[in-house]
Amino acid sequence: MGHLIEYGVWAVPFNLNLCMAKPNRKWSQLVETSNANPQLLHGSDFLHDLIRVLKLNVTTCHSLVLKFLPQMEHIFKEVISMYKFISTTISGLVQEQGTEVSKQPIVNLMRTVKRESLNLTSTWIARTSGCRWIDLKGVSKANGRNFVAQVFDHVVLAFIDVVLRDYKNSVPDSRKPKVFTLRTITMIAFKEKFACHFEKIMEIVLVPTSEMIQDENLHYPELCVDFIQMLYLATTWSFGNVIQLPEKMLGLIVQSLRWALQHTIRTVAKIGIQMITEFVKRLREYPQQQRQTTILHQVLHGESNNDLILSFLKI
């Protein structure tokens, strides 16, 4: 459907409304009925309908990019509300029945709804952030830069706040690797505006994830890969913010780096090597000598993998 809309460039507003009318009616119906009767969220047919509508929006967003804005504005608040509602439902089930409930098929469907909500938001941010200022101005009354600021303030921060708090408070089995994708895309797309939120966001994802991966080396393979990939990209795109993190958090990053270097999952170990290469390169270029010394001490503190680390540092 998305590709059909894309070709009708001059009729996009009409085509978008026309083509999304049926899924939007279905979406509104699902939201209204779930608000009236929350028990519907325990039904597989209901959850499958939610997933189908969200996936359709993701596909359409891929094709339309900026012209998807009216649709995003139409459903975004309800996507956030649905995400929060399902997260609360899962948490309630875990409290009542224990962590094993997270493996039940119906809970997996609930988590799929959350995943597709993350997919939609990540896709829209990634596709929108790559557009030119002149194109951004064309879809907004504000100029391009103001439009990006509005997207960050009203869309990104709102959704990230909900997602990260849910991630922090969820049991390990309910934490979604897609959270790292959303965080990484946001960091790259809104680098300057993201800086003042960097420490808070890193703390929310870093502390609980570090505990998970240290306890269960192989239990969360996808999460392990996405987590170390997020840290590597943070080092690459935002080293100035990484290096200024409090000592405890920086210590967790170094600990995660050491963990990655000895990981049995090849992809994790490979990214770990890429990360330490980039980390050392940026550290050598960093102007504050005292900070360099402090970080080097943290990197070298401990016994495992010192030979490998020293080979990168060439000490």
Q: 275 with 257: CB under 8 angstroms?
A: yes
Report pLDDT for 133: 39
Q: What are phi and psi of 171, to 5 degrees?
A: -70, 155
Q: Kindly state the helix (H) or strand (E) to which residue 186 belongs, with its residue range.
A: helix 178-189
Amino acid 43: pLDDT: 92
Token pair belonging to 57? 């929006």
Contact criterion met (CB below 8 Å) for 49 and 31: no
Please tell me the predicted confidence (pLDDT) of residue 147.
Answer: 57
Q: What digits encode the pLDDT tens for the residues 17-29?
A: 788 899 999 999 9
C-beta separation of 82 from 50 below 8 A? yes
Helix or strand (DSSP H, E) at 286: none
Predicted pLDDT of residue 11: 42
Tell me, what's the pLDDT at 100? 84
- Provide the residue count of the chain: 315
Regions of the chain with pLDDT less than 50:
1-14, 132-144, 303-305, 310-312, 315
Q: Which phi and psi (to 5°) does residue 231 adopt? A: -65, -40
Pair 207, 166: CB distance under 8 Å: no
- CB count within 10 Å of CB 210 equals 18
Per-residue pLDDT tens digits for 231-242: 998 888 888 888
Pair 90, 107: CB distance under 8 Å: yes
- Cα 44–Cα 26–Cα 72 angle in degrees, nearest 5: 110
Task: End-to-end CA distance of the chain: give it in Å, rounded.
Answer: 58
Helices 69-97 and 44-64 meet at what angle, rounded to 10? Answer: 150
Q: How open is the CA angle 13-117-132, to the nearest 5 degrees?
A: 50
What residue ranges in the chain does DSSP mark as E strands? none
Residue spans per domain, the chain: 13-209, 219-314
pTM of the model: 0.77
What span, in angstroms and rounded, lies between the C-alpha atoms of 182 and 197?
A: 14
